[in-house]
Structure 1
Amino acid sequence: MGKSEALFEQAKRRIPGGVNSPVRAFGSVGATPRFIKSGSGAVITDVDGVSYIDYIGSWGPMLLGHNHPVIREAVIKAAENGLSFGAATESEVTMAELICGFFPSIDMVRMVNSGTEAVMSAIRVARGATGRDKILKFEGCYHGHCDAMLVSAGSGLMTSGVSASAGVTAGCARDTLTAPYNDLETVTRIFDRNKGELAAVIIEPVAANMGVVLPEDNFLAKLRALCDANGTLLIFDEVITGFRLGPGGAQERYGVYPDLTTFGKIIGGGMPVGAYGGRRELMEQVSPLGRVYQAGTLSGNPVAMAAGIAQLTYLKEHPEVYEHLESSAEKLFGGLQVLIRRYDAPCALNRIGSLGCLFFTPGPVRDYGGAKSADTGAYAEYFRHMLGSGIYLAPAQFEAMFISDAHQDAHIEKTLAAAEAFFGSRLK
C-alpha cells in the first residue's frame, strides 16, 4: 500500500468520505485519490514521489502554473507582516483598482473569501436592488454550494426548483427557477410566466461545471436583451472564466456585459478568495452604504490580496501569456480532435481558449442533457490509463481541463501520446 492509499484510509476515519471536497474522492473513476505534496509549473508530485502533468490546476486558478515565483514571493513578503488584521489595508484598494481596470462592467467591487460567497452575495444584491425574490439559473451550471443554487429542474419547465441536496429547505428552492442552457425559448416562457418577479438571471457565460459547454447563437446577447426588457439583473458567474478566457473574461470575449460579476480563487492566484462587483448604483446597495448586508473578517486579507495583485499585475504586464495559452490549447485540443477522427472514437470535444473537455459521447454537447449522455464508465477507463501514464485529469467526466502558461510542447506531446495509446488499445 502506498502512502496515498494509507492516508486515504486514515482520512476516512476523520473526514467525510476521506476528502474535504467531494470530487477529490475519485469515486466516479474507480480509483484512490492521490495525496499531493508539491507542485511546480505544470507538474504536481504526490506523497509517493510520483509526478504528473496537471490539467486541473486547483480547478482553474493556476493560470501561470503551480508555485509561480512572482506569486510565491509576494505571499512570503505579505506573510512576514502578518496574516490577518480584520482591518482595512492598502492592498485591498490596489486589488479593487486592478479588477475594475480589467472589467469595464465593474465600477465597484467587494472582496469575499470564495466563489460560493461571491455568488451568494451577488444574488442578495440583486434581490435587494430589485425588490424581487425569484432567480433563474441553468441546468448543469454550478454556482457554489449556497442553498439557493443547489437546485435542479422540477417535473415541469415552469415549476419552481427542487433541491439537489439534502438540508436545503423547500422554501429556499421555491424561488429558484431553472432552464436548459442555450434554450432561449424556455427562458422566454419563464419570463412570461413570472412577470415582474425575476430579480436576476445567473449564468456561467461558458458553462464549465458540466464539462465545458459554450453559449450558442448569440445566447448571451439575447439573454441580456430579455433581462433589460424585464427589469431583471444579469449576473455572470466568472469564477472559472474570469481572467482565464482573456483579461476581461468571457464578457470581453463575447462582448456581452452583465450587471453583476462574480469571481473566485483565480483572482488570488489560487489563494482562498473571491469577489463580486458591478455598476456603482448596484454596489452602493451594499452595507455600509446600503441595506444589503454582507461581511467577513477575512475578506480582503493581506496574504490573498498580495497573491492576487501579483497574478493580475503579471497578466497586465505580460499579455503574451494569453497568446501562449491559446497556442498550447490549440495543440492539445486540436491533437485530441485528430485522435478522435483517426480512431473513429465516439467522443465530442468542446473547447474555448485554454478551457476544454473531452466527452465520451458522440455529441454534440450543448446542454446538460447532452453532457449527461456521456459514458462515464469509458471516461473512468480513460482517466485511469492517463493517470498511470503520468497525466492528472479531473477525476470526473463532467469537469473541465485547464491549461496553464507553464504547459510546454513536451507536456502536450506526452499527453497526446498517452491518449493515442488509449484510443489505439480500444480498437484491438
Structure 2
Amino acid sequence: MSRNHDLFARAQKTIPGGVNSPVRAFCSVGGTPCFIERALGPHFWDADGKRYIDYIGSWGPMILGHLDAQVLAAVQTALTRGFSFGTPTEAEIEMAEEICKLVPSIEQVRLVSSGTEATMSALRLARGFTGRHRIIKFSGCYHGHADSLLIKAGSGLLSFGQPTSAGVPEAIAQHTTVLEYNNLAQLSETFASIGEEIAAVIVEPIAGNMNLVRGTPEFLRLLRELCTQHGALLIFDEVMSGFRVALGGAQALYGITPDLSCLGKIIGGGMPAAAFGGRRDIMAHLAPLGAVYQAGTLAGNPLAVAAGLATLKRLQAPNFYDQLEARTARLTAGLTQAAHEAGMTFSTDHVGGMFGLYFAAHRPTSLAEVSHSNLDNFKPFFHHMLAAGVYFAPSAYEAGFVSITHDDTVIDTTLAAARMTFAALQR
C-alpha cells in the first residue's frame, strides 16, 4: 500500500479534505495527492520515495530551485539569532530598500505574511485614500481569499457581483464589479457608467490562476488611462508575476506604472512573506501615519526576510533572466512539438519563468477561452506525466513554473515523457 494513500486517509480525519489548500487535493484530476518529504534543485520526493521533476515550484517562489545554497546559508544565519521578535529589524529596512530599488513604482512598501494579506490591505488602502467603495476585478484573476475578492460576475454588464464562496455576504459582493479580462469595450463602458464610484481596479497583469493568460498591452494601457482619468487607483497584483517574469515584474515588461503593487512568493524565497507598496502619498494613509489600519505580528519575520533578500540578490546576477527565459522557452517549444507530432491539438505560452499548457489551437486571452479548451484531455495528460515522474500543476487552470536549476538534462527528460504521453493519449 502506498504511503501517499495512507497519509491522505489519515489527513482527512483531522484536516478538511485532507489538505490545507484546496488545489492540493487533486479534486480536478482525481487520484491521491503526493505527500512530499524533501526537495533539492528541480526535484522533490514523495512519501513513497519517488522522485519528480517539479514544475510548480511551491506555486512560484522556488525560482532558484529547492534548497539554493546561498538562500539556505542566509536562513541558517538568521536562525541562530531568533525566530521572531515582534519588533523592527534592520533586515526589514534592507528588504524594503531592495524592493523599492528593483520596482520603481514602489516608493514605500509594507511587509506582510501572505499574498492574500497584501491584496486585501491594498484594497483597504485604496478605499481609504479615495473615499470610494467600488472595486473592479476580472474573471479568472485570483487575488487571494479575502471576502471582497471571492466574487464572480453578475448576469449583466454592470450588475452586482455574486459571491463564489459561502460565507461572503452579498452586501460585500455588491461593492465588487467583475469584468472580462482583456475586454476593452466592456472596460470603457464600465468606467463611462460608474467611473466616479471606483476606488481601485485590481488586476493580474499576467494571470496565473486561469492558467497563464497575458494581459494585452492595449488592455493594460487602457486600464492605466481610465484609472488616471477617473481618479481610481490601479493595483497590479504581482504576487505571482513579480520577479518571476522579469526583475521588475510584469510592469517592467509592459512599461506601465501602477499606483499600488502587491508582491509575494519570490520575495519570501519559499517562506511566508509578501508585501504591498506604491506611491508615497498613498502609503502615507497607512497606520501609524494615517487612518487606514493594517498590522501583522509576523510581518517582516526575520527568517522569511533573510530568505527573500538572498533570493532577490541572486536574481540580479548577469543574464539570470535570459537563462531562465531560454529554459522555459525550450520546455514549451518541445511540448508543443511533441503534441503536434502525435496529432494533438495543443498550444503553450510562456513569459520569463512562467508557462501555460492548453489543449487548444491557440493560447487563450480570457477565462472563457481557457474553459472552452479541451479540458478532458488534461486529466490523463497529468496522470501520465505524474507516473513518468513529472509533476505539473494538478489543474488545467494553473500556470507552471521553471527554475534556474531546470537544465537541459531535466528538460530533455520531461520532453521524453511528454512524447510517450501524447502518443498514449492518441491511442
Q: Please tell me the TM-score bracket, short chain as reference.
A: over 0.9
Structure 1 residue 328 and structure 2 residue 327: aligned?
Answer: yes
Measured after TM superposition, the shift of residue 326 of structure 1 is: 0.9
Helix, strand or coil for the counterpart of 2:276? Answer: strand
> Structure 2: which amino acid aligns with 1:181?
Y
Structure 1 residue 51 and structure 2 residue 65: aligned?
Answer: no
Q: 2:329 touches 2:350 (CA, 8 Å); kept in 1?
A: no
State the distance in 1 between where 2:400 and 2:313 align: 25
State the distance in 2 between where 1:166 and 1:189 align: 30
Measured after TM superposition, the shift of residue 340 of structure 1 is: 3.2
- Structure 2: state its 5+ residue gaps: none
Partner of 2:181: 181
Helix, strand or coil for the counterpart of 2:182? Answer: coil
Measured after TM superposition, the shift of residue 423 of structure 1 is: 1.3
- Structure 1: state its 5+ residue gaps: none
State the distance in 1 between where 2:36 and 2:206 align: 29
> Structure 1: which amino acid aligns with 2:330?
K
The worse-fitting range, judged by mean Cα deviation, of 17-26 and 359-368 is: 359-368
What does residue range 10-409 of structure 1 map to in structure 2 within 5 Å?
10-316=10-316, 318-409=317-408
Partner of 1:427: 426
State the distance in 2 between where 1:190 and 1:200 align: 13
Partner of 2:416: 417
Helix, strand or coil for the counterpart of 1:52? Answer: strand
Measured after TM superposition, the shift of residue 257 of structure 1 is: 1.1
> Structure 1: which amino acid aligns with 2:349?
N
Q: 1:214 touches 1:350 (CA, 8 Å); kept in 2?
A: no
Compute the RMSD of aligned alpha carbons. 1.0
> Structure 2: which amino acid aligns with 1:138?
F
Q: 1:134 touches 1:177 (CA, 8 Å); kept in 2?
A: yes
Q: 2:380 touches 2:425 (CA, 8 Å); kept in 1?
A: no
**CA deviation string 1:237-278 (max 9, x = no partner):** 001100011110000011011000001121010101110000
Measured after TM superposition, the shift of residue 313 of structure 1 is: 1.3
TM-score, normalization: structure 2? 0.98
State the distance in 2 between where 1:319 and 1:219 align: 32
> Structure 2: which amino acid aligns with 1:359?
Y
State the distance in 2 between where 1:207 and 1:312 align: 22
The worse-fitting range, judged by mean Cα deviation, of 96-105 and 217-226 is: 217-226
Q: 2:381 touches 2:425 (CA, 8 Å); kept in 1?
A: no
TM-score, normalization: structure 1? 0.98
Q: 1:29 touches 1:377 (CA, 8 Å); kept in 2?
A: no
Regions of 4+ moved over 6 Å: none
Q: 1:25 touches 1:33 (CA, 8 Å); kept in 2?
A: yes
State the distance in 1 between where 2:122 and 2:371 align: 29
Measured after TM superposition, the shift of residue 217 of structure 1 is: 4.7
Measured after TM superposition, the shift of residue 320 of structure 1 is: 2.3
Measured after TM superposition, the shift of residue 374 of structure 1 is: 2.8
Q: 1:348 touches 1:365 (CA, 8 Å); kept in 2?
A: no
Measured after TM superposition, the shift of residue 176 of structure 1 is: 0.5
Helix, strand or coil for the counterpart of 1:141? Answer: coil
Corresponding pairs, count: 427
The alpha-carbon distance between structure 1 residues 419 and 307, as it changes in their structure 2 partners (threshold 3 A), is same
State the distance in 1 between where 2:389 and 2:336 align: 21
State the distance in 2 between where 1:373 and 1:300 align: 42
State the distance in 1 between where 2:124 and 2:234 align: 13
State the distance in 1 between where 2:365 and 2:35 align: 34
Q: 1:376 touches 1:397 (CA, 8 Å); kept in 2?
A: yes
The alpha-carbon distance between structure 1 residues 217 and 107, as it changes in their structure 2 partners (threshold 3 A), is closer
State the distance in 2 between where 1:84 and 1:364 align: 45
Q: 1:132 touches 1:198 (CA, 8 Å); kept in 2?
A: yes
The worse-fitting range, judged by mean Cα deviation, of 191-200 and 175-184 is: 191-200
